Amino acid sequence: MRIGYSFWGFLGDGITDTPDGGRSHRRTLIDGLIAAGHDLVFLQTNRDLTEAGTDLRSRYRWDTGLPEIDVLVLEWRWPIPGRNTTPCGWPGHTCDLHRQQQLVEHYSHRGIRTILWDKDQQLPADDPLRACPVVRVCEPALYPSAGAHSLLFPVADTVLDTADPAELAAGHRPWPLVYVGNQYGRDDAFDTYFAPAAAEHPHRVAGKWTDTRRWPHVRFTGRIPFHDVTRLYRSALSTVLLLPPRYAASGQMTQRIFEAVLAGCLPLAPDTIRGIDRYVPSAMHVTSGRHAADRIKQLRSAGTARRADLLAACLEKLEIFRLHHQLDRLHTLLRRPDPTPVDLPR
């Protein structure tokens, strides 16, 4: 199939001042689709080239027109006041939303099969696109919204096949606790699970946190370049998986889980996250900040062999993210004439 793929982000490292978490998995999915024999064309502007100065045109193709395609894939964009809701050409304007609307009108409304990947759960429940017969709404959640389908963030099969827990557990880890990610709706989870543990253990928080007055004891160091994320995780013993309430309620896990585990950093997970047993082993569940602090204390005194055993258990849980599972799900959705949800592998 010829797939038109719309995303507002990067395939390479991009720029530091951006919230694009898709860099951890977007290229994995795209390369998987190409390897499966599909022809891809990217339908938003080439931000890798224009903003980051990374020229990937020898491998991928961009087209800001309206080329002939068989399938439209949208990484869903939503209105952000003052940014993509302003007139074209205004200072600070980004044209992702205008371009997306053009694509929907030209392709989806004319009967082109559309995969709408609502990665941030921003599509309103009453949006008419949910009832459009050619549109399949997907969410990276275990329990997606009514009528939507599960499509998790993919991890390459070869990465999981070659991950060695003993190798991941080795090395010096000066930070007992880190967090990588932006504030965006995580205040309560941060207050409950991370902040109390940070009061007892050396730590670092990397990301955009604009209001930190509630936690004067926490060390916030700002955003870091994408290529430094793995480096920070490799220097850390543990992290805490913090989710906005809407993610926790639907069992939507972010890319932070596999970024951490694949760098040997153990993920502590609040047991309030729906379906958490499918993401991390019970030994990594925490019920409070006090519990998280105690777990970290145990990990700090544990030997390398124990950490390797825990990482092996975490790697087994990452199987749910395997690329070939996500490709199978996509291909099933593209063949499926009705909107019956596709179940996740167990």
Determine the Cα angle at 13 with ends 15 and 312, to 5°.
130
At residue 344, the pLDDT reads 44
At residue 336, the pLDDT reads 64
At residue 19, the pLDDT reads 83
Which residues of the chain are under the pLDDT cut of 70? Answer: 336-346
At residue 82, the pLDDT reads 87
Burial bucket for residue 341 (CB in 10 Å: 0-12, 13-18, 19+): middle
Q: What is the C-alpha separation between 39 and 281, in angstroms, rounded? A: 39
Q: Considering the entire predicted model, what is its pTM? A: 0.94
Question: CA-CA-CA-CA torsion for 219, 220, 226, 231, nearest 10 degrees?
Answer: 0
At residue 301, the pLDDT reads 96
Q: What is the C-alpha separation between 160 and 250, in angstroms, rounded? A: 25
pLDDT, tens digit (0-9, with 9 covering 90-100), for 142-179: 999 999 999 999 999 999 999 999 999 999 999 999 99
At residue 346, the pLDDT reads 40
At residue 339, the pLDDT reads 46
CB 129 within 8 A of CB 116: yes
Q: What is the C-alpha separation between 11 and 20, in angstroms, rounded? A: 10
**Residue 152 φ then ψ, to 5°:** -80, 165
At residue 337, the pLDDT reads 56
Domains, in order of start, for the chain:
2-154+322-335 (3.40.50), 157-321 (3.40.50.2000)
List the structure tokens of 309. 């055993």
